């Protein structure tokens, strides 16, 4: 991988395998991938690899024991054991052998020391997917990658597939497989004209990308416009109950599968933020999703595709003066009445919070409210509202809180996500993949949590640090601890100097970077904080507000209903309170705002000091890029601090108890 930052797969990570004797048993495309990986490592480090029945002895055996068809785990599970001087990985399917191989890579030398009883590893979620919001052609407003902060698209350039960079796509597939991701949607959910044509006359370009992803067990998905029969097929309607429309989708999907036999399915944003959908024909979301689901499982084909229907549907032309309309309610109100009406291969893709990937918001009440519908939970690895990969903001703790949240006091989100876990990708063609080298940790953490939603995020972070930095001798225990400290508290640090107590947004309109307290306050987007001279926050109680709190199951409906029981970190999301309201912490709301914004800046300053101390332990290019981003983070944090504190000082008239300067 010359010329690019190899994230968590630097050459040194393969040394423990590359110096040993390895036997690989089995056949198939993914077994060939494993063999190629081991062979390359052996060339670099002096070991050797044999196939099938060659005589031993061996330090490592990687063995395929079946075809994975009847294993009940999709062929993705594997076993690992160590004894009698040999490490053995077995799997019933090619994907499992590939994941077992990367498990050995993660363990490093530890995989070849001591003994380990046979352990069974399988992913908790069958689908672990990244959605790329990539545009084929550069959009005049959205650019090359909508909400992308790491350069241009990996897949597209100058209006076509990047054939000259398919080697980089292969390296990307390798990175994704290393952390367990098995599906990728290769274009923007907002489907423009160029992207629409990928479904028909440009499907060959998608097939080329799929061919590069396939050897690493990754299925390709495509975002499509609901209006495709009109845009591409010349029909006069896109009514999902129209027989001509259904036939068009069936025939088009058949041609997709001719080009991509293992095609994963469609991603659809419909009747959302101006995108076309079934509402135009008096039809429901279930009608629309089921029409596509039928095309993806034609009875004589056995395609096995899935439609991911996004639940991000709300009124984006709201009257800011009307406090009865609440954007947070929208997904629940739209979709709960449709529970049980979606086809088996239709997955409702739900953002983890009810608004839009804010630094702090409650778990969406839609999760757990539709027991007869397959739900996928959508996260955002690209940091649209959390620093846009110019700020260190490791999201593992946030995502872990979401996945462990028990929606009814019993069932955690990670178990309810039967349709899988999806993240908006944070990768581009930047030499460091994610623009900010430390943002790579978000991509890795997503994959590992998608494999095991209840995993310890701190352990995953240590794993990423060791794989990314620890293979270099100069990076010892002390630098690793320093880097862990920088990353582990970064989400809460970002929260401290930006939006307090769950109030959300307060960002510059459009690009969403930097503070603008009233930027969306009088807009049609439904993103309000309602700050006035007496208080701040949105009343979402059932007693006096929008009733949103009542969408939750017990005990959360009761917890969120009252300011006295609502968690401090979500208080302003659920309640409008006075500046003198006493939090559970013992502070007033206004003093909490002042204190956290000063603390946030101080923590960024401390982060810069720790990173500076690692200069001799990190390669110069990577250290310089992170230093550059930290300087911008500090500038931005000071701007957030001064604007937020000044705004609320002028609104409330309450001075800082510690006498610090507020403009």
For 456-465, what is each residue's pLDDT tens digit? 999 999 999 9
Task: Determine the average pLDDT of the residues in 351-380.
Answer: 98
Q: Which of 356, 361, 462, 539 is catalytic?
A: 356
Taking only the tens place, the pLDDT of each residue in 540-555 is: 999 999 999 999 999 9
Mean per-residue pLDDT over the chain, rounded: 95
Determine whether 539 is an active site residue: no
Q: Exposed e or buried b for every residue in 156-172, given b needs 16+ CB within 10 A?
A: bbeeebbeebbebbbbb
Q: Cβ contacts of residue 161 below 8 Å, gap of 6+? A: 155, 205, 206, 208, 209
Alpha carbon of 647 to those of 93, 517, 532, 533, 652: distances in Å?
A: 59, 8, 11, 11, 9
Is the pLDDT confidence value at 495 over 70?
A: yes
What is the structure's pLDDT at 287?
98
Q: Which of 73, 361, 384, 539 is catalytic?
A: 384
What is the structure's pLDDT at 70?
52
**What pairing do the DSSP bridges indicate for beta strands 60-64 and 48-51?**
unpaired
What is the structure's pLDDT at 476?
85
**What confidence category does residue 71 fall into, taking pLDDT thresholds of 50, 70 and 90?**
low
Residues 461, 438: Cα–Cα separation, whole Å: 11
Percent of the chain with pLDDT over 70: 97
**What confidence category does residue 538 fall into, taking pLDDT thresholds of 50, 70 and 90?**
very high
At CA 355, angle to CA 549 and CA 648, rounded to 5? 85
Is the pLDDT confidence value at 11 over 90?
A: no
- Do the beta carbons of residue 197 and residue 165 sit within 8 Å? no
What is the structure's pLDDT at 164?
74
What is the structure's pLDDT at 473?
65
Domain coordinates in residue numbering, the chain: 11-121, 128-468, 495-538+576-652
Determine whether 273 is an active site residue: yes
Q: Cβ contacts of residue 4 below 8 Å, gap of 6+? A: 168, 171, 431, 432, 433
Could you check whether 128-468 and 495-538+576-652 share the same CATH topology? no
Taking only the tens place, the pLDDT of each residue in 200-240 is: 999 999 999 999 999 999 999 999 999 999 999 999 999 99
Is the pLDDT confidence value at 68 over 70?
A: no
What is the structure's pLDDT at 622?
94
Is the pLDDT confidence value at 605 over 60?
A: yes
Is the pLDDT confidence value at 3 over 50?
A: no
Residues 441, 392: Cα–Cα separation, whole Å: 10
Residues 647, 441: Cα–Cα separation, whole Å: 34
Q: Which of 193, 273, 454, 616 is catalytic?
A: 273
| Overall fold of domain 11-121 | Chitobiase; domain 2 (3.30.379)
What is the structure's pLDDT at 67?
65
Task: Determine the average pLDDT of the residues in 593-603.
Answer: 98
Q: Is the N-terminal amide bond of 555 cis, ω within 30° of 0?
A: yes
CB atoms within 10 A of CB 103: 17
- Do the beta carbons of residue 590 and residue 380 sit within 8 Å? no
**What confidence category does residue 8 fall into, taking pLDDT thresholds of 50, 70 and 90?**
confident
Helix (H) or strand (E) holding 120: strand 116-121
Residues 156, 207: Cα–Cα separation, whole Å: 13
What is the structure's pLDDT at 543?
98
**What confidence category does residue 308 fall into, taking pLDDT thresholds of 50, 70 and 90?**
very high
In this structure, CATH architecture of domain 128-468? Alpha-Beta Barrel (3.20)
**What confidence category does residue 497 fall into, taking pLDDT thresholds of 50, 70 and 90?**
very high
CATH number of 495-538+576-652, picked from 3.90.1330.10, 3.90.76.10, 3.20.20.70, 3.30.1330.40 = 3.90.1330.10
Percent of the chain with pLDDT over 90: 91
Taking only the tens place, the pLDDT of each residue in 367-425 is: 999 999 999 999 999 999 999 999 999 999 999 999 999 999 999 999 999 999 999 99
What is the structure's pLDDT at 571?
98
Is the pLDDT confidence value at 606 over 60?
A: yes
What is the structure's pLDDT at 300?
55
Is the pLDDT confidence value at 1 over 60?
A: no
What is the structure's pLDDT at 2?
38
- Do the beta carbons of residue 219 and residue 75 sit within 8 Å? no
**What pairing do the DSSP bridges indicate for beta strands 156-157 and 160-161?**
antiparallel
Is the pLDDT confidence value at 298 over 90?
A: no
Q: How many residues in the chain?
A: 663
Task: Determine the average pLDDT of the residues in 550-562.
Answer: 97
Taking only the tens place, the pLDDT of each residue in 148-201 is: 999 999 999 989 998 777 789 999 999 999 999 999 999 999 999 999 999 999
Is the pLDDT confidence value at 659 over 90?
A: yes
CB atoms within 10 A of CB 395: 27
What is the structure's pLDDT at 302?
58
Q: 3-state class of 427 per DSSP? A: coil
Determine whether 251 is an active site residue: no
Is the pLDDT confidence value at 303 over 80?
A: no
Is the pLDDT confidence value at 560 over 70?
A: yes
């Amino acid at each position: 991988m010359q010329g690019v930052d190899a994230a968590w797969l630097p050459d040194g990570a393969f040394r423990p395998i590359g110096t040993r004797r390895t036997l690989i048993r089995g056949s198939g495309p993914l077994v060939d991938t494993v063999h190629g990986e081991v062979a390359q490592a052996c060339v670099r480090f002096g070991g050797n690899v044999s196939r099938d029945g060659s005589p031993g002895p061996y330090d490592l055996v990687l063995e395929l024991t079946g075809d994975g068809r009847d294993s009940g785990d999709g062929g993705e599970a594997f076993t690992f054991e160590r004894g009698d001087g040999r490490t053995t990985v077995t799997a019933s399917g090619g994907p499992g052998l590939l994941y077992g191989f990367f498990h050995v890579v993660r363990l490093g030398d530890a995989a070849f020391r001591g003994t380990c009883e046979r352990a069974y590893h399988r992913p908790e979620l069958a689908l672990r997917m990244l959605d790329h919001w990539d545009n084929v052609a550069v959009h005049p407003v959205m650019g090359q990658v909508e909400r992308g902060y790491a350069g241009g698209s990996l897949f597209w350039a100058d209006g076509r597939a990047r054939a000259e960079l398919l080697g980089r796509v292969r390296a990307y597939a390798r990175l994704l497989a290393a952390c367990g991701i098995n599906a990728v949607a290769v274009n923007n959910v907002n489907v423009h004209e160029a992207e629409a044509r990928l479904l028909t006359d440009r499907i060959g370009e998608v097939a080329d990308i799929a061919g590069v992803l396939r050897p690493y067990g990754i299925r390709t998905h495509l975002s499509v416009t609901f209006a495709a029969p009109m845009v591409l097929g010349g029909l006069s309607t896109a009514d999902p109950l129209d027989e001509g429309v259904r036939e068009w989708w069936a025939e088009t999907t058949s041609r997709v599968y001719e080009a991509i036999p293992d095609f994963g399915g469609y991603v659809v944003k419909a009747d959302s933020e101006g995108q076309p959908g079934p509402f135009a024909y008096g039809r429901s979301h279930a009608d629309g999703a089921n029409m596509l689901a039928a095309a993806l499982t034609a009875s004589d084909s056995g395609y096995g595709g899935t439609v991911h229907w996004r639940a991000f549907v709300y009124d984006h032309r709201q009257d800011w003066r009307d406090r009865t309309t609440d954007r947070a309610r929208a997904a629940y109100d739209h979709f709960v009445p449709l529970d049980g009406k979606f086809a088996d291969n239709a997955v409702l893709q739900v953002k983890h919070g009810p608004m839009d990937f804010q630094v702090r918001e409650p778990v969406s009440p839609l999760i757990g409210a539709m027991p007869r519908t397959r739900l996928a939970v959508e996260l955002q690895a690209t940091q649209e509202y959390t620093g846009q990969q110019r700020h260190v903001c490791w999201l593992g703790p946030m995502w872990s809180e979401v996945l462990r949240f028990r929606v009814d006091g019993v069932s955690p989100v990670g178990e309810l996500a039967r349709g899988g876990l999806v993240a908006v990708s944070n990768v581009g063609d930047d030499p460091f993949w994610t623009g900010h080298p430390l943002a790579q940790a978000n991509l890795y953490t997503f994959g590992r949590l998608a494999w095991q939603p209840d995993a310890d995020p701190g352990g995953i972070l240590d794993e990423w640090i060791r794989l990314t930095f620890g293979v270099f001798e100069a990076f010892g225990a002390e630098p690793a601890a320093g880097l862990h400290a920088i990353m582990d508290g970064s989400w809460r640090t970002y929260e401290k100097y930006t939006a307090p107590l769950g109030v959300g947004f307060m960002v510059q309109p459009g690009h969403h970077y930097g503070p603008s307290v009233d930027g969306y306050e009088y807009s049609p987007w439904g993103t309000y904080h309602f700050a006035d001279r007496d208080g701040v926050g949105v009343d979402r109680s059932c007693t006096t507000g929008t009733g949103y709190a009542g969408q939750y199951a017990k005990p959360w409906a009761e917890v969120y209903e009252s300011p006295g029981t609502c968690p401090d970190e979500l208080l302003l999301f659920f309640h409008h309170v006075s500046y003198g309201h006493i939090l559970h912490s013992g502070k007033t709301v206004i003093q909490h705002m002042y204190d956290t914004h000063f603390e946030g800046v101080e923590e960024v300053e401390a982060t810069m000091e720790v990173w500076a101390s690692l200069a001799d332990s990190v390669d110069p290019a990577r250290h310089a890029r992170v230093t550059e981003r930290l300087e911008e983070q500090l500038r931005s944090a000071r701007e957030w601090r001064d604007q937020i504190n000044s705004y609320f000082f002028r609104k409330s008239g309450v001075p800082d108890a510690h006498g610090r300067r507020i403009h």
